[in-house]
Amino acid sequence: MMIVFQEGVPHDEAQILALYQEVGWTLYTRKPEKLLAGLRRSDVLAAYDQERLVGLIRAVTDGETILYIQDLLVLPNYQRQNIGRTLLEKMIAAFPDVRQKILLTDDQIQSMSFYEACGFKQVGKTGGVAYGFSS
């Protein structure tokens, strides 16, 4: 297996939807047109095993002051092979001068442990406060 990383939104929409579906992010796949439009308006880096889409990271940024990592997905059979970590590191490295690098994740220990192992800290431990808005 040789994983290749490529910038840009994958062309195969069926593979994108399958990736989100397989990792259980089904809210995204209920309205595929919104997911695909969001991807096109984001910075995207994809991971491929030959022609198969096996991972993806999506970020929204102004390129100067903030990088917001929205999605990081890796197919279950490809997890724990440093694909997610590599996607995250490559996305962060693409914006070396951006000071604020932010992501939100669920409160699952596995997710939290992964991001902390990659150098992220919970906002409360960095002197900041995070808020959510629900309408």
For residue 49, the one-letter residue type is D
Q: Which residues contact 122 (CB under 8 A, 6 or more apart)?
A: 112, 116
Superfamily of domain 3-104: Gcn5-related N-acetyltransferase (GNAT) (3.40.630.30)
Distance CA 94, CA 89 (A): 9
Distance CA 3, CA 26 (A): 25
Query: Could you read off the pLDDT of 44-79 as tens digits, one per residue?
Result: 999 999 999 999 999 999 999 999 999 999 999 999
Arithmetic mean of pLDDT, 15-41: 95
Distance CA 78, CA 51 (A): 14
pLDDT, averaged across the chain: 91
